[in-house]
Structure 1
Amino acid sequence: MRQTILAVLSLSAIAALLTGCGGDMVLLNSKGPVAEGQSNLMLTAIYLMLLVVIPSALMALWFGWKYRASNKDADYKPTWAHSTAIEVVVWGIPVIIIGILAALTWWGSHKYDPYRPLESDKAPLTVQVIAEQFKWIFIYPEQGIATVNEMRFPEKTPVSLRITSNFTMNSFFIPALGGQIYAMAGMQTHLNLLADELSPAEGFRGFSSNYSGYGFSQMRFRAHSVTDAQFAEWVSAVKAGNGTSVNPEAVQKTVLDQAEFQTLKDGDRSKHQIEALVARATTPEEKAKAEAMKPYPTKPHPVTYYSSVEPKLFESVINKYMSNYHGADHTATVGHEAAASEAHAGVEHATVAGE
């Protein structure tokens, strides 16, 4: 009986939380069609499962009360063994619910596939995302700019994200706009999002939902949904080296190239690991090497704007790991293939002109 009461109280607490009590239930406070659809699927699944859980809990309480030892009016049937009606209920209803859940899961998996482009009258904005140690880098290939720990995009415009990692596995997540998707070294994952409305002044919360080391808690960023005019103004300001006019707390820099990209790796070990290496050092060289290490950050990297980006920087991050895997440098291959493609296009153009 005590366990049943605890179960009912737990379900009541969960139900209260799902109604929005007790804080910002961002998963149920969606700001885009993807997050809204996923939230509705989750709530539908919970309601269907409660069709079994709530009656079971109520019947457990009722049976315990009805057949208590002091109730002399309760039916006593020591030879009872089977009831077809009970078997139909306890097996039939769960089977029906599981079937409905299976159908919803199949439909939702295709409807809200993160790789599936969103339907819209506006052309999607492409953003390349790199999970760096321990920060997020956003490259806008069409605009020729890049940012660290901040993403901006126009409202009601599909955002096509191409995501990879430059160290261990992470998980890209903006709860108000959609589900999470993994960022993995040497691989590219896709995520399509859209904001139905403008974000608050502080932006939507974004972070890594996959533990990736001592600096994991610092992998936080802000996603700002703005008007088309505000987005164009921001892009122009960043390209002109004046991004701080839009965000005074940001740091404005010039170009994000390979040299600058290497400097974005924060730290070598955690503070405790460095102290342990220094304590265990057996030679002056080992101690000096350990003392020279930089500790991981204890706060997120400041928002940084870059007025230009080295071409194909995102692709080079992926190819770096793929070349190691296959034992060859694919960076040169990509450049060779691009040049060959351009030459082939030139030949075709000349052929058509000659005809």
Structure 2
Amino acid sequence: MRQTILAVLSLSAMAALLTGCGGDMVLLNSKGPVAQGQSDLMMTAIYLMLLVVIPSALMALWFGWKYRASNKDADYQPTWAHSTAIEVVVWGIPCIIIAILAWLTWWGSHKYDPYRPLESDKAPLTVQVIAEQFKWIFIYPEQNIATVNEIRFPEKTPVSLKLTSNFTMNSFFIPALSGQIYAMAGMQTHLNVLANETSPAEGYRGFSSNYSGYGFSQMRFRAHSVTDAQFAEWVAAVKAGNGTSINPNAVQKTVLDQAEFASLRDGNRSHKQIAAMVRNAKTDLEKELAATAEKEGPYKTQPHPVTYYSSVEQGLFESIINKYMSNYHGADHSAAAGAHEAASSEAHAAVEPASQVVGE
């Protein structure tokens, strides 16, 4: 009994340290209807399951105390074999709870389907999201601007996110606003979010919740919910090449095209790994891989700085998806992608000096 009490107290203390004492309770303090609904579903499921867990735990303690060896007054029935009332309780109540949980799961899966548009009087804002190695790139096709590791949107306005990846599978997650959804190469997933209020000055926390390599821990970004006027002011500043007037810690650049996009990729190996590859390379293939690793360099140990682009190459998001879809369904995108990249490289070379003057 003493060991059981100590174990319960230890687990309770650990739970308090991990949550209440300075912990991040964002999942229980949602700032949007999607995250709030998912939080309510989670807590409802927990409460329902506690209807079985708490009585079971209490009865286990009570039975142990009542039928202890020193209690000579306990009712002892060595020939007892069956009780219909007990069978009804121990099977009936769990079956009812499981049925309720099944219905909640079915209802919640449809109600909070990430592809389901949110009801609102305002038109949704479309944002294209690309998981890059190791950062998040946000493209605003209607505003013709782009950002790295920062997303801004008006409060009380639905945001329609279209996501893909330019390397391995990643999980896009803003705990305060929605559940996570995967971004995968050659595919497009959707996520609809809405913020009920403006965010704190530092914004809401966003990150990748799916391990994707050594630099995965640097895939962090901030989501800022602002007023309509503030959003319009920010868009105008970024388009004018003056986004740093809104965020002094950001870097302002000119155009996000294929060449600039390619330059954003980080290395995915450590210094020691690259050195070992170069040292142990024997075959031509191993030497080629080692040379590529040296060119890419080691993975970054700090998140990529917030970067603004005053314009975006038309169709950049679609070209990232098509790059992984060559010859799929009989369509060969490889030649078109190559020509597209060559043309954008020339354009990038022409504007790069201006980019260096503006923000670098």
Same-fold status (TM-score > 0.5): yes
Instruction: Give the whole-Å Cα distance in 2 for the aligned partners of 1:10 and 1:63.
Output: 22
Quote the residue 2:130 is aligned against.
Answer: 130
* TM-superposed deviation, 1:292: 4.2
Q: What TM-score results when the alignment is normalised by the length of structure 2?
A: 0.87
* TM-superposed deviation, 1:279: 2.9
Give the AA of the match of 2:50: L
Quote the residue 2:356 is aligned against.
Answer: none
Instruction: Give the whole-Å Cα distance in 2 for the aligned partners of 1:297 and 1:333.
Output: 32
Q: Percent same amino acid among aligned pairs? A: 86
3-state DSSP of counterpart to 2:326: helix
Would the alpha carbon gap of residues 194 and 331 (structure 1) be closer, same or farther in structure 2, given more than 3 Å must change?
farther
Would the alpha carbon gap of residues 312 and 28 (structure 1) be closer, same or farther in structure 2, given more than 3 Å must change?
same
1:37 aligns with 2:37: yes
Quote the residue 1:294 is aligned against.
Answer: 297
1:101 aligns with 2:101: yes
Instruction: Give the whole-Å Cα distance in 1 for the aligned partners of 2:9 and 2:103.
Output: 30
Pairwise CA RMSD: 2.4
Quote the residue 1:46 is aligned against.
Answer: 46
Instruction: Give the whole-Å Cα distance in 1 for the aligned partners of 2:16 and 2:265.
Output: 43
Would the alpha carbon gap of residues 158 and 20 (structure 1) be closer, same or farther in structure 2, given more than 3 Å must change?
farther
Quote the residue 1:152 is aligned against.
Answer: 152
* TM-superposed deviation, 1:281: 3.1
Quote the residue 1:179 is aligned against.
Answer: 179
3-state DSSP of counterpart to 1:92: helix
Give the AA of the match of 2:55: P
* TM-superposed deviation, 1:323: 1.2
Instruction: Give the whole-Å Cα distance in 2 for the aligned partners of 1:33 and 1:264.
Output: 34
Instruction: Give the whole-Å Cα distance in 1 for the aligned partners of 2:17 and 2:111.
Output: 27
Instruction: Give the whole-Å Cα distance in 1 for the aligned partners of 2:294 and 2:45.
Output: 54
Would the alpha carbon gap of residues 21 and 51 (structure 1) be closer, same or farther in structure 2, given more than 3 Å must change?
farther
Quote the residue 1:317 is aligned against.
Answer: 320
1:308 aligns with 2:305: no
Instruction: Give the whole-Å Cα distance in 2 for the aligned partners of 1:296 and 1:55.
Output: 51
Summarize deviations over 1:39-64 as a string: whole Å, max 9, x none. 00000000100110010000000000
Question: Equivalences for 1:50-69 in 2 at 5 Å?
Answer: 50-69=50-69
Quote the residue 1:259 is aligned against.
Answer: 259
3-state DSSP of counterpart to 1:215: helix
Question: Equivalences for 1:111-126 in 2 at 5 Å?
Answer: 111-126=111-126
Is this contact kept in 1: 2:213–2:268, CA < 8 A? Answer: no
Is this contact kept in 2: 1:4–1:60, CA < 8 A? Answer: no
Is this contact kept in 2: 1:151–1:222, CA < 8 A? Answer: yes
Quote the residue 1:234 is aligned against.
Answer: 234
Summarize deviations over 1:123-176 as a string: whole Å, max 9, x none. 000000000000000000000000000000000000000000000000000000
Quote the residue 1:351 is aligned against.
Answer: none
Would the alpha carbon gap of residues 298 and 155 (structure 1) be closer, same or farther in structure 2, given more than 3 Å must change?
same
Would the alpha carbon gap of residues 251 and 52 (structure 1) be closer, same or farther in structure 2, given more than 3 Å must change?
same
Quote the residue 2:71 is aligned against.
Answer: 71
Give the AA of the match of 1:281: A
Question: Equivalences for 1:15-34 in 2 at 5 Å?
Answer: 16=16, 20-34=20-34
Instruction: Give the whole-Å Cα distance in 1 for the aligned partners of 2:104 and 2:282.
Output: 61
Quote the residue 2:347 is aligned against.
Answer: none
Quote the residue 2:89 is aligned against.
Answer: 89
3-state DSSP of counterpart to 1:274: helix
* TM-superposed deviation, 1:87: 0.5
Is this contact kept in 2: 1:132–1:165, CA < 8 A? Answer: yes
Is this contact kept in 2: 1:274–1:293, CA < 8 A? Answer: no
* TM-superposed deviation, 1:291: 4.4
Question: Equivalences for 1:262-277 in 2 at 5 Å?
Answer: 262-277=262-277
Instruction: Give the whole-Å Cα distance in 1 for the aligned partners of 2:234 and 2:194.
Output: 19
Unaligned runs of 5+ in 1: 335-355
* TM-superposed deviation, 1:283: 8.3
Instruction: Give the whole-Å Cα distance in 2 for the aligned partners of 1:138 and 1:160.
Output: 12
Instruction: Give the whole-Å Cα distance in 2 for the aligned partners of 1:21 and 1:294.
Output: 40
3-state DSSP of counterpart to 1:119: coil
Is this contact kept in 1: 2:214–2:268, CA < 8 A? Answer: no
Is this contact kept in 2: 1:320–1:329, CA < 8 A? Answer: no
